[in-house]
Amino acid sequence: DPKIIQKPKYLVAVTGSEKILICEQYLGHNAMYWYRQSAKKPLEFMFSYSYQKLMDNQTASSRFQPQSSKKNHLDLQITALKPDDSATYFCASSRDWGSAETLYFGSGTRLTVL
Amino acid sequence: AQKVTQTQTSISVVEKTTVTMDCVYETRDSSYFLFWYKQTASGEIVFLIRQDSYKKENATVGHYSLNFQKPKSSIGLIITATQIEDSAVYFCAIVGDNSKLIWGLGTSLVVNP
């Protein structure tokens, strides 16, 4: 059974709309992250959370807002969607927040913005 | 800023052979951690193996091992006795003091029968 669940797996949206990407982890981890994978680019760090507290934000745009209702949840709200937002978004978690931690990834949400 | 370079875009091997994938990194951190992940055809990203910079011994997990050459800032991944199921894209990544994984562009491995 997958330990990090991302929903939906595929998402199609129109420009200007708003979507929420869901992530739940059942590994008992205290830290969660969002990464983005775009074509021809390396995986890109977006956010990190520890015990539901934002630790780091590498996303310049305020259109991307993480939301953590529980320690094992970290959703990603994206507003005013643009075609450039098309990518696969991966949620990840680690036992604790910190450089020495190994990250484990969900299966991703592939977002297409038309 | 940290950087990871994987120069091999794709590699094709025959199953049961050994393959080495290259990775060179840049960092100013005195302590850092190196990771290898693979991404399967379904898109899933799977952790394989890691090397902590302060450890001299090369890490080994199952049929994965690392060739860590710190003076050359190099962390190669070696897969022995390759299997068809090893076909995937392999990513090298580094994390230093900033707790963010910096990734390479990946090497696509095709294992043929």
List, for residues A43-101, the tens digit of each pLDDT value.
999 999 999 999 998 887 999 999 999 989 999 999 999 999 999 999 999 999 987 88
CA distances for A111 relative to A114, B20, B45, angstroms: 10, 33, 17
Averaged pLDDT score across all residues of chain A: 94
The answer, yes or no, to whether residue A39 has pLDDT greater than 90, is no
| Best B31, B45, B97 residue to mutate vs chain A (most A CBs within 10 Å) | B45
pLDDT of residue A2: 74
- The rounded distance, in Å, linking the Cα atoms of B66 and B69 is 9
Residue A105 to residue B45, Cβ atoms within 8 A:
yes
Residue A100 to residue B46, Cβ atoms within 8 A:
no
The two beta strands, A75-78 and A64-67, are: antiparallel
- The rounded distance, in Å, linking the Cα atoms of A100 and A89 is 23
* Facing B100 at nearest CB: one of A40, A58, A88: A58
CA distances for A14 relative to A33, A68, A82, B63, angstroms: 25, 25, 8, 45
pLDDT of residue B1: 81
> What are the pLDDT tens digits along chain B (113 aa)?
889 999 999 999 999 999 999 999 999 998 999 999 999 999 999 999 999 999 999 999 999 999 999 999 999 999 999 999 999 999 999 998 777 899 999 999 999 99
| Best B3, B49, B100 residue to mutate vs chain A (most A CBs within 10 Å) | B100
pLDDT of residue B106: 96
- Give the chain A residue nearest B5 (alpha carbons): A42
